[in-house]
Chain A
Amino acid sequence: MKPFVDLHDVTHVYARAEDGVPAVKNLTLRIHEGEFAAIVGPSGCGKSTLMKLATGLQFPREGTVFVDGRQVEAPVKLAGMAFQNPTMLPWRTTLDNILLPLEIVEPHRGRLRRNKAEYVAKAEGLLEQVGLKGQGHKYPWQLSGGMQQRASLCRALIHEPKLLMLDEPFGALDSFTREELWCVMRDLHAAQKVTIILVTHDLREAAFLADRIFCMSARPGRIVAEREVAFPRPRDLEITYSPEFSALVHELRGHIAQARRAA
């Protein structure tokens, strides 16, 4: 199968890095279309940098980045993104926040005004899927942190992106809300066949959601281990209490601990 996201031997140094040490070095990563990939690694190892490289928000000093068969030379225009911080615009209602990508991405941009009702219905459908039915008229600051995070997932999905980038999206949530949103993500991935790259510090989260998990070394980051996750889909939360699951999490933990020691 042809890779959908293909980073080959990539080295990146931030223009404003004071020490000139690369954030990532000789990083190679291939992710297939429709795959759910998780990236784990010690803090500051370059995971967010990898996201920016794969979406064309940063360009590598060395190496090549291909997305969807094309070399990335500008922001990719097809990615949805969600971060740990929900970054909702406080002057827009939740619904208008979710519609924001449609005001940018073609062909929706040109159609939005005349087909508003259709898009609003779609946004409300997404809100329902993440458990926020009928909350669209509220302003983001009237929602709890977890609810804002759900809304930001809707915003990342509204334009049906081919690539979804999630950078610790559940990092600031309590464990119950987090597990609930895992199931939301699992179902969305199953329904939409979108390629997802998830950066996380939570090894259980990676093991539960991903098809493949990549472990990164300490800065300068590169991939030090790659692990297929064979649990059949659809997965139930119960599997997280199985011995195989614990063994996998334990193994991942070993990789991270080693990467931290090597630093």
Chain B
Amino acid sequence: MRTKNQLALAPWIFTIGFFVLWEVACRALGISSFILPAPSTILLAVWEYRIQLGYHALHTLWMTVAGFGLAVAFGLLLGMVLGSSRLINAGSYPLLVGFNSIPKVAVVPILVFWFGVGWVPPVLTAFLISFFPIVVNVATGIATVEPEMEDVLRALGASKRDIVFKVGVPRAMPYFFGSLKVAITLAYVGSVIGEQNASNVGIGNLLTRASAAFEVPLVWAALVVLAVLGVVMYAITAYAERSMTGWAQRSQMAA
């Protein structure tokens, strides 16, 4: 019981400890708030700009969720195709890896040529940056079905489709949910990059404007809001993972 309580408390203690250390360091060393504001200064800024921050954060959240949703749908589909066909898998990997290696900042201008400034570039950037881990994980889960299981089903006359849907997809679910945790944080990065370069609203846009005006506390406040949103979304996906794939989490390591 003690360890369970400790586990539940640990994230709070670590987080608060981190900020306390930061605060103490800033005060003890007398660091200028232009270089590194203390957490108390940032907190004040968050409160001061709360309406502006809330408005932009909501927009960013919306862009992120939309891009992430696209990535999930597309990632599942493509992952299923790649996982069930060795030919398509081998053929398309160089393309996928090559595409994924392109910094998405470089793609935003192209999105602006195509769709103009607005909500489309952030959503698409979030999508483009976050679908890759989903594809790779789903494909791996499906491609690594035990050959004996495959034999059992094929000897019953199962089609490739049967095997993919009855064994491959459920089996890939722990991989899929694992990748969602990576993908959701990436999607934030993507939507903020998109907003910075091709939108008039959103935390990304706020960041651009605040840094151009040297409003250092506002920049930091925006970053903190982003981090908090990221943690919340991560926690939601982690919760979904636990409730959907309990069967895969019976090892002592995860306890």
Q: Is the CB of B158 within 8 A of A90?
A: no
User: What are 26 A-to-B residue pairs whose CB atoms are below 8 Å?
Assistant: A55-B151, A56-B155, A57-B154, A75-B154, A76-B155, A77-B157, A79-B156, A80-B156, A81-B151, A83-B148, A83-B151, A85-B146, A85-B148, A90-B248, A91-B173, A91-B247, A91-B248, A103-B166, A104-B156, A104-B157, A104-B158, A105-B156, A105-B157, A141-B247, A141-B250, A155-B152
- Chain A facing B: main interface SS: loop
Residue interface mask A95-115, B partner, CB < 8 A = 1: 000001101111000000000
| A89 at the B interface (CB under 8 A) | yes
| B45 at the A interface (CB under 8 A) | no
Q: Is the CB of B170 within 8 A of A89?
A: yes
Nearest CB to that of A54 among chain B residues?
B155
Q: Is the CB of B247 within 8 A of A139?
A: yes
Q: For residue A100, which residues in chain B have a CB less than 8 angstroms away from its CB? A: 153, 166
Partner of A57, one of B149, B155, B171, B247: B155
Q: Is the CB of A104 within 8 A of B162?
A: yes
Mark out the residues of chain A between 184 and 235 whose CB falls within 8 Å of any chain B CB in the assembled complex. none
| B167 at the A interface (CB under 8 A) | yes
Number of interface residues of A (CB under 8 A): 29
How many residues of B sit at the interface, in one of the four size bands?
20 to 34
- Chain B facing A: main interface SS: helix
Q: For residue B173, which residues in chain A have a CB less than 8 angstroms away from its CB? A: 91
| A47 at the B interface (CB under 8 A) | no
| A260 at the B interface (CB under 8 A) | no
Q: Is the CB of B156 within 8 A of A52?
A: no
Q: B143 CB to closest chain A CB, in angstroms?
A: 16
Q: Is the CB of A89 within 8 A of B149?
A: yes
Q: A91-B170, A104-B162 are in contact. Are A79 and B148 (CB under 8 A)?
A: no
- Distance, CA A75 to CA B245, complexed state (A): 32
7 interchain residue pairs of minimum CB distance: A77-B157, A79-B155, A55-B155, A91-B247, A75-B154, A104-B156, A104-B158
- Distance, CA A139 to CA B155, complexed state (A): 24
Q: Is the CB of A159 within 8 A of B155?
A: no
Q: Is the CB of B149 within 8 A of A87?
A: yes
Nearest CB to that of A51 among chain B residues?
B151
- 8 A-B pairs besides A75-B154, A83-B152 with CB distance below 8 A are A55-B151, A55-B155, A57-B154, A77-B157, A83-B151, A89-B171, A91-B247, A103-B166
